[in-house]
Structure 1
């Protein structure tokens, strides 16, 4: 039986400015880095980065599971992590995969960059041909649509914008936004898609809206795990799927399900570390198409410099989990 030494360390990464979404105000990204070592001395790192308001377990539940596994864990124990702990599945599954052969698919990809919420987005310099995301459903619709009109007045050539409601709109507001998007896209297709306008369980309603308007709708919170991806595909969803691998389950399950259903995948971030973003690029990239991935978020952190750290160096900066 394959058995590994497990070590766990905690991180806290403050945002440069609080991130405001329809779920509330977020100031610090907490998470866990795990380290597996086999009998041959090979090491694999993984990250557990839960996001409970998007459907994953809490950080406390993830840590509790890891504590029960210390100091030694088997591959069988890892593969039996329940589906109620999708971020833990991903983190330990990632570490297990990284004990194997080196990365298979090192590729360069285009990132979508997250703009500040609200009026602050008006001050950010933009570049031609890039993709940006802007959170909506935080302020009044009228105010946000006014800011959108102002931002688009000097919109760079070939750039695209994703509007992300995080499930915070009602039916009337979603319709109003889609009408605005359709009108803006008539002359130049600037709005790539409206992301998760309605709450996670209202996929049939979003399917109906997608049939009525030309601006594509992308599901995000509705596709929190691979169980949800399979379920809504069986119910007829054939549109864009914004998938956050770090809270979606085992990496091998993500590859399998997204390939099986032929999902139009957009990889997205839960504000995990660059270590996990590199893993996704190297191990999951071929599943997705050519849409920009939502990993343009590292500038949001006070410690943005950790982007260049090797895994061992990042590990050395963290405090061990107290037993």
Structure 2
């Protein structure tokens, strides 16, 4: 048996500029790395990066859960732990454990983590390019966006008429085929959402996420019926409850593994969305490179089951420094290698 020795490493990563949404703002990301060692010298890494406004536990709850977790898993066997995860873990803490086990077990198998999850996983994943908040500087951030890409923009922080006018001006500067993925983060009352969607009629919109402050199935369904592009839910998933699955009012589900509880939990949620007739994509919570690698491999595993819209992987560039080497963005895609595991193995002691 290959028994585990766990270690936890705290971190704080400053951002290059503040991350601003209708739900709030932050200028750094803090969390913990969970490192698992086995008796053969292999190591696996997972990241716990709580973000309560996205739907995770609080940092204090995550810290307490990680301390309890380390005591519970000391000396356990990785494969057995993967089959039967400890009950009661909050989502970001569970994500760290799932990711670290995935890293360790896929290294043991000599496979990329994506192909350990799904043998049919591709080794390239398309992503939307995250340009941050729609503001007077957005046009400058279009530099280098390739033709045909999807660009993600946060909306809902200025009057509807002002944001629509900015989008119209921005449209004239877009490279060929580029479309807007818009995210209101629950900024609007229904009337505001209706006005915004009506104003999008002549704009190249790929989708709109979380349009309503108080999301409900009936209101979302009425809004979706007015536009040809998908509306999506993310933070409001739990609030919508079972009615979302019984009578899906929208066409897309945005899944954050850090919020869902890890790679396997995210894939299960995506499968359920597909069975209900919704497409799904995976996205980060502006975590460090270890967490982004986990989302990337999970997205590739999902792509091996069904095609997805471009995922949300392009957030590493927002960090002024990172935990280790993040996935490399080439245009609007990210490539995985044939190496085993979840991420390039950092030298021993990197996080001590």
Q: TM-score range by the shorter chain?
A: 0.7 to 0.9
Q: 1:201-241, CA deviations, whole angstroms, 9 ceiling, x for partnerless residues?
A: 423311221013323211111236xx978662134346111
User: Larger deviation: 203-212 or 66-75?
Assistant: 66-75
Does structure 2 conserve the Cα–Cα contact (< 8 Å) formed by 1:9 and 1:34?
Answer: yes
Match of 1:14 in 2: 14
- Aligned pair 1:285/2:291, yes or no? no
Tell me the distance in 2 between the aligned counterparts of 1:194 and 1:210.
10
Tell me if structure 2 keeps the 8 A contact 1:112–1:294.
Answer: yes
1:238, 1:209 → 2: CA distance? Answer: 9
CA pair 266-142 structure 1, distance change in 2 beyond 3 A: same
Q: Specify the alignment match of 1:187 in structure 2.
A: none
Distance 1:158 1:135, change over 3 A: same
Rate the CA distance shift 1:228–1:279 in 2: closer, same or farther, 3 A.
Answer: farther
Structure 1 length as normaliser, TM-score? 0.86
Deviation at 1:130, TM superposition (A): 1.3
Return the match for 1:274 from 262, 283, 289.
Answer: 289
Q: Normalising to structure 2: TM-score of the pair?
A: 0.79
Write the distance in 2 (CA, Å) between the matches of 1:198 and 1:135.
Answer: 14
Q: Verify the 8 A CA contact 1:33 1:315 in the aligned structure 2.
A: no
For 1:260 and 1:202, locate their aligned partners in 2 and report how far apart those are by CA, in whole Å.
19
- Is 1:88 paired with 2:102? no
Equivalent residues in 2 for 1:119-268, closer than 5 Å: 119-124=136-141, 125=143, 126-184=145-203, 190-199=204-213, 201-223=215-237, 232-237=244-249, 239-262=251-274, 263-268=278-283
What is the CA distance between 1:71 and its match in structure 2? 5.1
Helix, strand or coil: the match of 1:70?
helix
Structure 1 gaps of 5+ residues are 185-189
Contact 1:78 1:92 (C-alpha < 8 Å) held by counterparts: no
Q: Can you give the 5+ residue segments of structure 2 that lack an aligned partner in the other structure?
A: 116-120, 328-342
RMSD of the alignment, in Å? 2.7
2:332 paired residue number: none
Deviations 1:59-100 (A, max 9, x none): 2211111112335614289712426x1111111011112221
Equivalent-residue separation in structure 2 for 1:122 and 1:108 (angstroms):
28
In structure 2, the CA distance between the partners of 1:215 and 1:282, relative to structure 1 (3 Å rule), is closer
Q: In 2, Cα distance between the equivalents of 1:78 and 1:195?
A: 34
Call closer, same or farther: CA 1:92–1:290 in 2, change over 3 Å: same
Q: Tell whether the 8 Å contact from 1:217 to 1:240 is kept in structure 2 after alignment.
A: yes
Structure-1 separation of matches of 2:44 and 2:83:
16
Following the alignment from structure 2 to structure 1, what is the Cα–Cα distance between the partners of residues 348 and 155? 36
- Would you identify which runs of 4 or more consecutive aligned residues in structure 1 move more than 6 Å? 227-230
Q: Of 108, 124, 127, which aligns to 1:111?
A: 127
1:234-280 per-residue CA deviation (whole Å, 9 max, x = no partner) reads 34346111111122114223223322441411211101223333233
Aligned partner of residue 119 in structure 1, secondary structure: coil
Does residue 318 of structure 1 match 2:351?
A: yes
Mapped partners of 1:305, 1:274: distance in 2: 6
The CA deviation at 1:300 is 1.1
Q: Distance in 2 between matches of 1:260 and 1:25?
A: 31
Question: Aligned partners of 1:20, 1:47: CA distance in 2, in Å?
Answer: 23
Q: Deviation string for 1:121-147 (max 9, x for gaps)?
A: 121213311110110011222222221
Distance in 1 between the 2:309 and 2:249 partners? 19
